[in-house]
Structure 1
Amino acid sequence: MQSPEKTSVTDEKKPDTQAAFIDMVEFAVVIAAAAGCLLCINLVFPARWHWWSIPVLWIAAAGFPTILRGRNRRDLGLTLSPLGFSLKILFLTCLMVFPLIYVLLSLWKWLGLGLPAINQIPRDGWLPWLLYQFLYVAVAEEIFFRGYVLGRLHRLPTSLSSRHPRVWQGIGILISALIFALFHVLQAGGIPALLTFFPALVFGWLLVYTRSLVAPVLFHGLANLFYALALPTLT
């Protein structure tokens, strides 16, 4: 005769396994749908529509499954707390990472390899350019690639995540950074777009460390600004 304890344990595992499977299917479907929509935008929409259609895609790809599954906005990192801690970590990260980025970009250029393209800062329209980098590009991309992609990866129940959570966090950052870079290849084309993998590692780490999108969004916008200012000195 089976003991009641064993029966209860078995009954508890079934919904967990089913929920994990549903989460994995959801994740795969969202990634595939986002990639397909991005390709359609590039093929069908005129280039002058890309500035708004692509950010809308990222927000929709993160927002729809979050709303449909009844999740909290905090699951996407949409919280200001802890603001002071996030700003402190952001400041220290900029001091350490930006000089390193410039050195690595200089080395990359010295090796004769191409650099990712970015729209130059217009002299007469620098403020709209800056607002676009922060409010459209950084916010939308961080909500999807860090808030949704990295957030869901870290919440997927696996044997590794339960036994070695910090290792799984690192793997999640690597996978989300790779997805980020591959989507940039789809969007911009060309191997140089793969270089976005490296700043994406920092974006992911900032989210994990601060548990908020504040630092990743601000660092993303500042990184785009830094790159736009540094690129003329590298060419």
Structure 2
Amino acid sequence: AAGLLGRKTGQGFYRYEDGQKIEQPEPAAESVLLNRPYWLQSDDAALRTQVAQVLASAGATLESGEQPSAEAICLITPLGEDCTAAVSRLGLPAERTLALDSFADWDKRRTLMRQPAAAADVVAQARQALAADGVPVEVINDSPGFVIQRLIASVVNLGTEIAQKGIATPETLDRAIQLALGYPKGPLAFGEHYGKQAILTVLNNMQAVYGEPRYRPSPWLRRRVQLDLPLTTPDFQE
């Protein structure tokens, strides 16, 4: 309905002209000086390599020490936490610490989360550096689970709840959701793609913050993480 209204009026989430959606150019980031090193809190070797490469293209460096230097802009990768909680837990300097969403597709779009104490020049420098290879960088306000983590974990959890009820086999469930909704993967396959332990961590942390039933991990998910089994493993083997 919203899309139809947009096409009729030319206004909406997208802009339309003669019934055709007009692609809007990405806003250009303000040019700032990139004169500070970066420090990344992540054990993901692939992510560290990707971040180091894009920083190098911006003329910046990624520190390798266990703790950041006094000048470094700190990038952290929380799961289901907001940036403020992660800064407090890790004991990092709030004025120069931002969160980076590890669930985002690195080659298409990146997401930085700022918290209230982050300095404006730190946000501007990090955004420009991480966009040095032309990939857009979104900056969002402090929120547990970013946007992508929250959505993906909720979809996976709902899928595992349906599997728990025995409505369909795991394979049938994934195939039905994929075909019906046009998803590139079914919910259980999404869980395997992002890592079932990571999904469980996102849900546990968001449940602790919000206390809402929708973020409570299903027994199906929890058991398969504890037993290190694929999310497609049925409850009983024939």
Q: TM-score, normalised by structure 2?
A: 0.25
Greater strand content: 2
Greater helix content: 1
Q: TM-score, normalised by structure 1?
A: 0.25
